[in-house]
Structure 1
Amino acid sequence: MSMQGIHCLTPVALSLLPRAPEPPSCQRRHTLPASEFRCLTPQDATSAFEIEREAFISISGTCPLYLHEIQHFLTLCPELSLGWFQEGRLVAFIIGSLWDEERLTQEALTLHRPGGRTAHLHVLAVHRTFRQQGKGSVLLWRYLCHLGSQPTVRRAVLMCEDPLVPFYERFGFYRVGPCAVTVGPLTFTELQCSLQGQAAWRRSSC
């Protein structure tokens, strides 16, 4: 083998100079996003339940979902949830599951039916310190965009007490009548929203 193409390296002492500090604009920041939307995980269940418990039990004495039910749905269908986080803190969320009948029944409160084409919105809750700021509206709009990007989901359905009906009607939900589901003395109106033909528009709007 010819030695002409080989370059011999002569050992030299390496001097380790202290690295100059980066200017403030270049320094790495290890901060959480100021605001982000993402699907929830079972690890978010406790935070979600604390928000929900304060929002609902203080008013109606009951919760749409209890902790074990939140964990259940976030294990089976996390893609049907959406949380709003600010600097890593959950401030608002929606949890849903799939349903496969025309109207809600008592079973819809606890079941997730993977073959269903209907997203059942179980709960929308906002942390008490972030209410009256429009966050519920922003989150619901984002959630409907999220559902619209899932080709197997054709519509959304929910039940609520009468004073909340106008809020959901602003987002395209319409009344289908009294809900067959009751919780203790509470009765509800059932609302539905068609997602067909709106997926592309929502993707471009969100």
Structure 2
Amino acid sequence: MCVRAHREQTGGGESDSSPKKANMSQQQLSSSPSLKPFFLKTPVQVGSPLRQRRHTLPASEFRNLTPQDAISVFEIEREAFISVSGECPLTLEEVLHFLGQCPELSLGWFEEGQLVAFIIGTGWDKKRLSQEAMTRHVASTSTVHIHVLSVHHQCRQQGKGSILLWRYLQYLQHLRCMATPRRALLICEDFLVPFYLKAGFKEKGPSAISVSNMHFREMEYLLAAHAYARRNSGC
């Protein structure tokens, strides 16, 4: 949730998080491909070919995203942000760019083959986030900038944003391409600060980043410190 607003419910609340300048023109929005209707639970008759095919897909799967997932990612992101703020943290072109450059810093949650929630991050090499962090990826660094966390509108109010964020932070603890000490940074609107505090982030104060006159708080999660605490807790 580089969290300009991670949207799990339209208009606020736990949802998807991350800001970005991404001013999408009406032409871009209308021309981008649309997903097929989304059905998590499709009634099927016993013995039907569809029922047999569904057994080949995992009921629930967490994996890194690829450029092939970009359309699904952007459709979920667009629905979550455009209707609320008129802005997307990442444009479709930026989604494709980051998933091509650093897919290992992304995580998608799939149910029966459908993307239901995702996080996209990039590498960063400075103490605080700046406007440059919105479009840049720095490889082999110790800091991950979480751009966006978003949940499909049919899967909100189920705690999926919190679960995915926890899984992502655990995943970063053991990511070999990251230097140490490890930490995650994001920016969010004021109403999302409690959500990130509950997840273990600390507030670092106002962010230097602004998007369309929107202002944010910067949040930090110390990955190495949490790993050390667990090793010494007898767990």
Question: Could you state the TM-score of these two structures normalised by the residue count of structure 1?
Answer: 0.81
Within-5 A mapping of 1:101-120: 101-120=126-145
Change (3 A) 1:148 1:60: same
5 Å matches for 1:91-106?
A: 91-106=116-131
CA contact (8 A) 1:100 1:115 kept: no
Check if 1:170 corresponds to 2:169. Answer: no
Q: Alpha-carbon deviations, 1:146-170, whole Å to 9, x = none?
A: 1111252510000000000100111
Aligned position for 2:219: 191
Q: Residue 67 of structure 1: which of 66, 83, 92 is its match? A: 92
Cα offset, 1:28, TM superposition: 9.7
SS at 1:32 equivalent: coil
Query: Distance in 1 between the 2:53 and 2:161 partners?
Result: 33
The DSSP-based 3-state class of the residue aligned with 2:129 is coil
Write the distance in 1 (CA, Å) between the matches of 2:102 and 2:191.
Answer: 29
Decide whether the 8 Å contact of 2:122 with 2:145 is kept in 1.
Answer: yes
Q: Is the 8 A contact 2:54 2:112 kept in 1?
A: no
Amino acid at match of 2:80: A
Counterpart Cα distance in 2 of 1:29 and 1:128: 22
**Secondary structure of 1:169's aligned partner:** helix
- Which has the larger displacement, 190-199 or 58-67? 190-199
* Mean Cα deviation higher: 27-36 or 162-171: 27-36
**Identical residues among aligned pairs (%):** 62
Q: Which has the higher contact order (CA 8 A, sep 6+)?
A: 2
Q: Deviations over 1:118-154 (max 9, x none)?
A: 0000000000000000000100000001111125251
1:161 maps to which of 189, 202, 209: 189
Kept in 2: contact 1:181–1:188 (CA 8 A): yes
Question: Which of residues 62, 72, 75 is equivalent to 1:37?
Answer: 62
Residues 149, 199 of structure 1: 8 Å contact kept: no
Deviant stretches of 4+, over 4 Å:
27-30
Report how far residue 59 of structure 1 moved. Answer: 0.4
RMSD after superposition: 1.8
Q: Could you tell me whether the CA contact under 8 Å between 1:159 and 1:189 is conserved in 2?
A: yes
Shift of 1:38: 0.2
Q: Which residue of 1 aligns with 2:45?
A: none
CA contact (8 A) 1:178 1:188 kept: yes
Determine helix, strand or coil for the equivalent of 1:175.
Answer: strand
